[in-house]
Amino acid sequence: MTALVLFFFFCQALGAAIGVAASLWGEMSYMSAMWKGQKDIAERAYLRIIGSGMRYGLGLSLLASLFLVILAYVFNTSPQPALTASYWMFIAFAFLIIISAWAIVRKHVSFALGSAATLTAWWLLAYLTLGRLPVFSFGSAIALYVILTAIVYAVLRYVRFLALDSAMKHRLPKP
Protein backbone atom coordinates (compact mmCIF):
# COMPACT_ATOMS: atom_id res chain seq x y z
CA MET A 1 0.00 0.00 0.00
CA THR A 2 2.83 2.40 0.84
CA ALA A 3 4.26 2.08 -2.66
CA LEU A 4 0.88 2.90 -4.22
CA VAL A 5 0.38 5.90 -1.97
CA LEU A 6 3.86 7.20 -2.78
CA PHE A 7 3.27 6.65 -6.50
CA PHE A 8 -0.02 8.55 -6.49
CA PHE A 9 1.45 11.28 -4.31
CA PHE A 10 4.29 11.62 -6.82
CA CYS A 11 1.75 11.79 -9.67
CA GLN A 12 -0.19 14.47 -7.81
CA ALA A 13 2.96 16.50 -7.18
CA LEU A 14 4.07 16.02 -10.79
CA GLY A 15 0.70 17.30 -12.01
CA ALA A 16 0.98 20.38 -9.83
CA ALA A 17 4.55 20.99 -11.05
CA ILE A 18 3.41 20.68 -14.67
CA GLY A 19 0.68 23.23 -14.00
CA VAL A 20 3.03 25.71 -12.33
CA ALA A 21 5.58 25.29 -15.12
CA ALA A 22 2.90 25.79 -17.79
CA SER A 23 1.62 28.88 -16.01
CA LEU A 24 5.10 30.40 -15.74
CA TRP A 25 5.90 29.47 -19.35
CA GLY A 26 2.65 31.09 -20.45
CA GLU A 27 3.53 34.30 -18.63
CA MET A 28 6.99 34.35 -20.22
CA SER A 29 5.63 33.75 -23.70
CA TYR A 30 3.00 36.44 -23.12
CA MET A 31 5.64 38.98 -22.14
CA SER A 32 7.86 37.99 -25.05
CA ALA A 33 5.06 38.54 -27.55
CA MET A 34 4.06 41.79 -25.83
CA TRP A 35 7.66 42.96 -26.12
CA LYS A 36 7.43 42.30 -29.86
CA GLY A 37 4.18 44.28 -30.00
CA GLN A 38 1.86 41.35 -30.78
CA LYS A 39 -0.88 41.43 -28.14
CA ASP A 40 -3.32 39.02 -29.83
CA ILE A 41 -0.59 36.49 -30.49
CA ALA A 42 0.52 36.86 -26.87
CA GLU A 43 -2.92 36.08 -25.47
CA ARG A 44 -3.39 33.11 -27.79
CA ALA A 45 0.02 31.69 -26.86
CA TYR A 46 -0.73 32.13 -23.17
CA LEU A 47 -4.12 30.41 -23.47
CA ARG A 48 -2.66 27.54 -25.52
CA ILE A 49 0.04 26.90 -22.93
CA ILE A 50 -2.38 27.21 -20.00
CA GLY A 51 -4.76 24.83 -21.77
CA SER A 52 -2.10 22.16 -22.11
CA GLY A 53 -1.03 22.71 -18.51
CA MET A 54 -4.60 22.24 -17.38
CA ARG A 55 -5.10 19.17 -19.54
CA TYR A 56 -2.01 17.34 -18.34
CA GLY A 57 -1.21 18.89 -14.96
CA LEU A 58 -4.71 19.23 -13.56
CA GLY A 59 -5.81 15.93 -15.06
CA LEU A 60 -2.89 14.10 -13.47
CA SER A 61 -3.36 15.84 -10.11
CA LEU A 62 -7.09 15.18 -9.92
CA LEU A 63 -6.79 11.54 -11.00
CA ALA A 64 -4.05 10.93 -8.46
CA SER A 65 -6.17 12.62 -5.79
CA LEU A 66 -9.12 10.41 -6.69
CA PHE A 67 -6.99 7.27 -6.43
CA LEU A 68 -5.56 8.41 -3.08
CA VAL A 69 -9.10 8.85 -1.74
CA ILE A 70 -10.09 5.41 -3.06
CA LEU A 71 -7.00 3.84 -1.46
CA ALA A 72 -7.80 5.51 1.86
CA TYR A 73 -11.36 4.18 1.66
CA VAL A 74 -10.35 0.64 0.69
CA PHE A 75 -7.75 0.38 3.45
CA ASN A 76 -10.04 2.14 5.94
CA THR A 77 -7.57 4.79 7.05
CA SER A 78 -8.56 7.40 9.56
CA PRO A 79 -9.41 10.21 8.95
CA GLN A 80 -10.81 9.86 5.45
CA PRO A 81 -9.19 12.42 3.11
CA ALA A 82 -12.55 13.59 1.81
CA LEU A 83 -13.39 14.80 5.32
CA THR A 84 -10.35 17.05 5.72
CA ALA A 85 -10.09 20.75 4.92
CA SER A 86 -6.90 20.24 2.91
CA TYR A 87 -8.69 17.92 0.48
CA TRP A 88 -11.45 20.45 -0.10
CA MET A 89 -8.88 23.22 -0.49
CA PHE A 90 -7.20 21.08 -3.16
CA ILE A 91 -10.51 20.65 -4.98
CA ALA A 92 -11.34 24.36 -4.60
CA PHE A 93 -7.97 25.42 -6.05
CA ALA A 94 -8.52 23.02 -8.97
CA PHE A 95 -11.92 24.58 -9.62
CA LEU A 96 -10.45 28.08 -9.31
CA ILE A 97 -7.91 27.20 -11.99
CA ILE A 98 -10.65 25.95 -14.28
CA ILE A 99 -12.97 28.90 -13.60
CA SER A 100 -10.27 31.55 -14.02
CA ALA A 101 -9.06 30.03 -17.31
CA TRP A 102 -12.66 29.83 -18.54
CA ALA A 103 -13.25 33.46 -17.53
CA ILE A 104 -10.17 34.57 -19.48
CA VAL A 105 -11.32 32.74 -22.60
CA ARG A 106 -14.87 34.10 -22.37
CA LYS A 107 -13.56 37.59 -21.51
CA HIS A 108 -15.55 37.77 -18.26
CA VAL A 109 -12.47 39.08 -16.44
CA SER A 110 -9.54 41.11 -17.66
CA PHE A 111 -6.62 39.14 -19.00
CA ALA A 112 -4.34 40.49 -16.28
CA LEU A 113 -6.67 39.49 -13.43
CA GLY A 114 -7.42 36.08 -14.92
CA SER A 115 -3.78 35.21 -15.45
CA ALA A 116 -2.92 36.35 -11.91
CA ALA A 117 -5.78 34.22 -10.52
CA THR A 118 -4.64 31.19 -12.50
CA LEU A 119 -0.98 31.58 -11.52
CA THR A 120 -1.87 32.02 -7.84
CA ALA A 121 -4.16 28.99 -7.81
CA TRP A 122 -1.50 26.81 -9.44
CA TRP A 123 1.12 27.87 -6.90
CA LEU A 124 -1.20 27.31 -3.95
CA LEU A 125 -2.18 23.91 -5.36
CA ALA A 126 1.50 22.98 -5.68
CA TYR A 127 2.29 24.14 -2.14
CA LEU A 128 -0.71 22.28 -0.79
CA THR A 129 0.26 19.11 -2.65
CA LEU A 130 3.82 19.24 -1.34
CA GLY A 131 2.63 19.90 2.22
CA ARG A 132 4.28 23.33 2.36
CA LEU A 133 1.03 25.22 2.96
CA PRO A 134 0.18 25.56 6.67
CA VAL A 135 -3.02 23.97 7.93
CA PHE A 136 -5.82 26.46 7.30
CA SER A 137 -9.54 26.35 7.53
CA PHE A 138 -11.29 26.42 4.18
CA GLY A 139 -12.37 30.06 4.56
CA SER A 140 -8.91 31.29 5.49
CA ALA A 141 -7.42 29.44 2.51
CA ILE A 142 -9.83 31.23 0.18
CA ALA A 143 -8.98 34.55 1.87
CA LEU A 144 -5.28 33.79 1.37
CA TYR A 145 -6.01 33.06 -2.29
CA VAL A 146 -7.78 36.41 -2.76
CA ILE A 147 -4.98 38.36 -1.06
CA LEU A 148 -2.23 36.56 -2.96
CA THR A 149 -4.11 37.04 -6.24
CA ALA A 150 -4.19 40.79 -5.59
CA ILE A 151 -0.45 40.80 -4.87
CA VAL A 152 0.39 38.69 -7.94
CA TYR A 153 -1.89 40.91 -10.06
CA ALA A 154 0.00 44.03 -8.94
CA VAL A 155 3.41 42.42 -9.51
CA LEU A 156 2.46 41.11 -12.96
CA ARG A 157 1.03 44.49 -13.98
CA TYR A 158 4.26 46.19 -12.93
CA VAL A 159 6.49 43.65 -14.71
CA ARG A 160 4.35 43.87 -17.85
CA PHE A 161 4.51 47.65 -17.69
CA LEU A 162 8.30 47.54 -17.45
CA ALA A 163 8.51 45.07 -20.32
CA LEU A 164 6.20 47.14 -22.51
CA ASP A 165 8.01 50.36 -21.61
CA SER A 166 11.32 48.73 -22.49
CA ALA A 167 9.88 47.52 -25.79
CA MET A 168 8.57 50.97 -26.65
CA LYS A 169 11.96 52.55 -25.95
CA HIS A 170 13.59 49.83 -28.06
CA ARG A 171 11.34 50.61 -31.05
CA LEU A 172 11.65 54.40 -30.99
CA PRO A 173 14.11 55.84 -33.51
CA LYS A 174 17.26 57.32 -32.04
CA PRO A 175 17.52 61.11 -32.45
* DSSP alpha helix (H) spans, the chain: 2-35, 39-53, 59-74, 85-105, 111-129, 138-171
Look at residue 80 in the predicted model and tell me its pLDDT.
83
pLDDT, position 175? 58
Please give the DSSP secondary-structure letter assigned to residue 57: I
Distance, CA of 168 to CA of 22 (rounded, Å): 27
Assess contact for 106 and 115: CB atoms under 8 A. Answer: no
Range with lowest mean pLDDT among 34-43, 55-64, 80-89, 121-130: 34-43
Please tell me the least confidently modeled range out of 27-31, 37-41, 128-132, 133-137.
Answer: 37-41
Q: Cβ-count burial of 150 within 10 angstroms (0-12 exposed, 13-18 middle, 19+ buried)?
A: middle
Which residue range(s) make up the domain with 75? 2-171
Instruction: Say how many domains are in the chain.
Output: 1
pLDDT at residue 48, as a whole number = 87
Q: What percent of the chain has pLDDT over 70?
A: 95
Mean residue pLDDT across the chain: 89
